[in-house]
Structure 1
Amino acid sequence: MSINKNLDELCHLIFKYYFIDFIPFQNNEFIDTEIGEIPKGWNITTVGDILDCKLGGTPSRSNENYWGGDIAWINSGKVNEFRILEASEYITELGLKKSATKLLPAKTTVIAITGATLGQISLLEIDSCANQSVIGVIPNKKYPYEFVYPLISSILFDLLKHQTGGAQQHINKNNVESFKIVSPPENIISEYKNIVSSLYSQISANCFEIENLTKLRDTLLPKLMSGEIDVSKINCDLKYEINNLTLKLKNKLIEVVI
């Protein structure tokens, strides 16, 4: 298993330790609620009460002025990716204004809500719009992405019990917004965030590093293989550096494969 996936699993386990199993609070008084026992002083709320959920959309394909701009836009297939680093396509400011799509900030948790990708979730590492098969759950100051992302992951199984439809099963925005969850005190979320934030930052850094290394490999190696880059005239020291770089690229791609 890759470093990134190990780190991601660790973050989810820490979330479970705090907010599902309540291990640090076992000496506290617990109260009965409609979704089970929770520590006294915590609340039952819904996803929509504490977080802004946005349904995506697609600018009209018949209007060429809506496409080819500089605003990232993803389809639901991108939600299969571990982290979303690049757009599926790009739209214009006019395309954003004239369609139902919304611009979601980086660190938004995205959920695929229909079709073959139903139930997939990912985390945006870029600002991006999305299509109508994607819901974005936007973090805020009280509920940071380090809390929101594993929260949505933890409720996904039960959330999918609400799926409807015939040939193409789906859930809707109301299913997500109305889902009941536990809301911890703000100081507990801050304590948890202090533990996991460096792990999430490392995952993000690894993702961008591997993307850059992959692009460098895909650009450099074909040119070396085709002879477009003539290494015969390169001095020994530089040849050594190229070989060393190539080895580092291979090792890093193996080490941090996504």
Structure 2
Amino acid sequence: IEVIRDYEFSLPPLETQQRIAEILSSLDDKIDLLHRQNKTLESLSLTLFRHTFIENPKRNEWEEKPLSEIADFLNGLACQKLPPQNEINRLPVLKIKELREGITESSDWATSEVDSKYIVQNGDVIFSWSASLMVKIWNGQKCILNQHLFKITSAIYPKWFYYFWCLFHLENFISIALAQATTMGHIKRTDLDNAICSIPPKDFLDSMDKQISPIFDKIYNNSKQIQNLESLRDIMLPKLLSGEVEV
């Protein structure tokens, strides 16, 4: 403790500190605004989805398909078996913890020399099917899909469609996982086969896509801006404190 008390820190003048704080606070405010905007946009689009596809009486006349048919569910890799060979050809590993908290200094890394289908990009839909079940649109940096996670894609249906159907069935998936007498509850692909989705006529779906896809595009663009602002903030802070960059 005495060593810490005697340690002298090099700090910029108070006025400079205040100006640095103003700059960083403005970045944090913008990041927070974009996060809140995305939350509002997703809530609005989810409400529109539920009203149109869940509560609509016409859905009884529509075709029905299982979740496993409207999208492809790609399971991740055992990334602990794929350590990076160097400091260049590597990427962080997306596990359940990262899906919840984002990539951190404690995240694992793996070689980037894997099939491109296992690379996760900002905007991809990720489904944790084991332990902590959740469905999220990834809004972080490029990374590698770990086992116990699905990357969900579709060559036929728009992203918002299969994303919201996954969310709709998530509560039931969680109940299935909790009912298992294991320490790590999970769902099986047969559970995806049993999760039924209402499929409207193509012209109806196309009409809804024109309303909802622009909202998802806005969410994606906001997420990219958040990434850029967070990167800028993290780069600027040490440079401002050291005086390398003048305020």
Task: State the TM-score, normalized to the length of structure 2.
Answer: 0.71
Deviation, 1:114, is 1.8
- In the other structure, the counterpart of 2:27 is none
Question: Match of 1:114, SS?
Answer: coil
Give me the whole-angstrom Cα distance separating, in 1, the residues matched to 2:201 and 2:172: 24
Deviation, 1:140, is 2.0
1:205 to 204, 214, 221: 221
Structure 1 regions of 5+ residues with no counterpart? 31-37, 232-241, 243-258
Deviation, 1:221, is 2.7
Is the 2:112–2:144 contact (alpha carbons within 8 Å) kept by the matching residues of 1? no
Moved over 4 A (4+): 62-68, 70-73, 103-107, 125-128
Question: Match of 2:152, SS?
Answer: strand
* Residue identity opposite 1:5 in structure 2: K
* Residue identity opposite 2:39 in structure 1: K
- In the other structure, the counterpart of 2:182 is 166
- In the other structure, the counterpart of 1:157 is 171
Give me the whole-angstrom Cα distance separating, in 1, the residues matched to 2:154 and 2:82: 34
Is the 1:80–1:121 contact (alpha carbons within 8 Å) kept by the matching residues of 2? no
- In the other structure, the counterpart of 1:5 is 39
Give matches, 1:124-135, under 5 Å.
124=138, 129-135=144-150
Give me the whole-angstrom Cα distance separating, in 2, the residues matched to 1:205 and 1:159: 30
Is the 1:111–1:122 contact (alpha carbons within 8 Å) kept by the matching residues of 2? yes
* Residue identity opposite 2:36 in structure 1: S
* Residue identity opposite 2:195 in structure 1: F
Deviation, 1:174, is 2.9
Give me the whole-angstrom Cα distance separating, in 2, the residues matched to 1:9 and 1:45: 25
Deviations 1:96-153 (A, max 9, x none): 49xxx845676542111222xx222112467754111112221223x11021111111
Is the 1:56–1:102 contact (alpha carbons within 8 Å) kept by the matching residues of 2? yes
Deviation, 1:63, is 5.5
Would you say 1:140 and 2:152 are equivalent positions? no
* Residue identity opposite 1:194 in structure 2: K
Deviations 1:34-69 (A, max 9, x none): xxxx342x1122111222111112144376549962
Give me the whole-angstrom Cα distance separating, in 1, the residues matched to 2:236 and 2:87: 31
Give me the whole-angstrom Cα distance separating, in 2, the residues matched to 1:61 and 1:67: 17
Give me the whole-angstrom Cα distance separating, in 1, the residues matched to 2:54 and 2:148: 29
Is the 1:70–1:92 contact (alpha carbons within 8 Å) kept by the matching residues of 2? yes
Deviation, 1:162, is 1.7
Question: Match of 1:110, SS?
Answer: strand
1:17 to 47, 51, 68: 51
- In the other structure, the counterpart of 2:5 is none
Give me the whole-angstrom Cα distance separating, in 2, the residues matched to 1:130 and 1:66: 19
- In the other structure, the counterpart of 1:182 is 198
Give matches, 1:91-110, under 5 Å.
91-93=111-113, 95-96=114-115, 102-103=118-119, 107-110=123-126
* Residue identity opposite 1:137 in structure 2: I
Would you say 1:196 and 2:215 are equivalent positions? no
Give me the whole-angstrom Cα distance separating, in 2, the residues matched to 1:20 and 1:131: 32
Give me the whole-angstrom Cα distance separating, in 1, the residues matched to 2:224 and 2:175: 35
Q: Which has the higher contact order (CA 8 A, sep 6+)?
A: 2
Give matches, 1:45-64, under 5 Å.
45-61=65-81, 64=84
- The change in CA–CA distance for 1:191 and 1:77 in structure 2 (over 3 A counts) is same
Question: Match of 1:45, SS?
Answer: strand
* Residue identity opposite 1:56 in structure 2: G
Task: State the TM-score, normalized to the length of structure 1.
Answer: 0.68
- In the other structure, the counterpart of 1:122 is 136
Is the 2:110–2:144 contact (alpha carbons within 8 Å) kept by the matching residues of 1? no
Deviation, 1:177, is 3.6
Is the 2:71–2:154 contact (alpha carbons within 8 Å) kept by the matching residues of 1? yes
- Root-mean-square deviation over aligned CA pairs: 3.0
* Residue identity opposite 2:162 in structure 1: V
Deviation, 1:213, is 1.1
